[in-house]
Amino acid sequence: MRYDDSSPAPESHDSISPDQRWYTRRSTLAVAVAVLAPTVLAGWVLTQTLTGTEGQRPGPAPHPASHAAAADAKSSASPGAQAGASASASASASGPAAAPAPAKGPLTGKTVVIDPGHNTGNFQHTDEIDRQVDIGTNRKECDTTGTTTNSGYMEAEFSMDVSRRLRTILEGRGLKVVLTHEAGTARPWGPCIDERARIGNEARADAVVSVHADGVSQGNRGYHVILPAKVKAGGADTAAIVGPSRQLGERIGSNFSRTTGSAPANYLGSGTGLVVRDDLGGLNLSTRPKVFIECGNMRDSKDAAQLTSPEWRQKAAQGIADGIVGFLGG
């Protein structure tokens, strides 16, 4: 190594005393410790952070300023706000809130029984439907075939179609609807007239409507609603249902006429569209408000054109439904 004239020449190693050499080594060790200590300390802190106490892994410690801010916010919140936060936390923990219960209306819990007149299978089961049943005032056939249009469209087809349409409308208004029978089921004929009445009674129906079409001669047109007479004989006692049945029939008649454009029958009922009878087992044996509606005359060409029209049958169902809903207070 070359030194210039301005730099002091280094001392020779041999010229340093033992005390000086010890001091130099101690100083060097101290410097080394000073350098290593922070590194060791940092490693220990890192190990504690990663492992935590007893093997648990803690999250990062909050900044003191953040901790203080959170405490200040909590202490400044009103009791109502704190209660609301607690309620929100509880709701979140227990899952989504239940949907509110649907509002109750005048039709809630009410039941309507619809009785489609006759059965398309009755034509093949004449022996069964000819069996006599007790209707209170006398005995009568279990059921009949019903009538047809001149082209062969069955009353039973008509009554089932209108009844199904009627059910759809009423269920849309929130009513429970029961049909006394339905096409395409295991029921090949009937049911008998006493069973039809029993179905309405056992359902505790708020209203029962039997859907029909008449079969008289050409030129006799229009609808009519049949109401129960006051009878008390055998198993028949209509005293409690005569009044409400008339109210039901009047409601149905007026709405049916308005919706379909049909006039009251021109061959019975004196133009009122209302007829009272005591010879129908479905009415005599009923304990619930009940009526029959003859929607038109299948043997009249003009009425038959309406009865065979799906559009007109939808109007018929709507008119009957409006009458039932009005009677039930909907």
As annotated, the active-site residues are 294
Question: Could you tell me whether strands 274-277 and 224-228 are parallel, antiparallel, or unpaired per DSSP bridges?
Answer: parallel
> What would you report as the CA-atom Rg of the chain, rounded to the nearest whole angstrom?
47
Return the SS3 of 206.
Answer: coil
Q: Quick one: the chain helix, strand, coil %, rounded to 5?
A: 50, 15, 40
Q: Cα separation of 233 and 91, whole Å?
A: 63
43, burial (CB in 10 Å: exposed 0-12, middle 13-18, buried 19+): exposed
Q: Cα separation of 118 and 124, whole Å?
A: 12
Nearest to 295 by CA among 314, 276, 270: 314
148: DSSP letter: B
Beta bridge partners of 292: 210, 226
Return the SS3 of 258.
Answer: helix
What are the CA-CA distances from residue 192 to residues 134, 212, 291 (Å)?
Answer: 10, 15, 17
Tokens 């304990």, residue located = 287
Q: Cα separation of 251 and 227, whole Å?
A: 12
Element holding 51 (H helix, E strand): helix 18-51
Return the SS3 of 133.
Answer: strand
Question: Measured in whole angstroms, how far is the alpha carbon of residue 169 from the centre of its chain?
Answer: 14
Do 157 and 123 meet the contact criterion of CB atoms below 8 Å apart? no
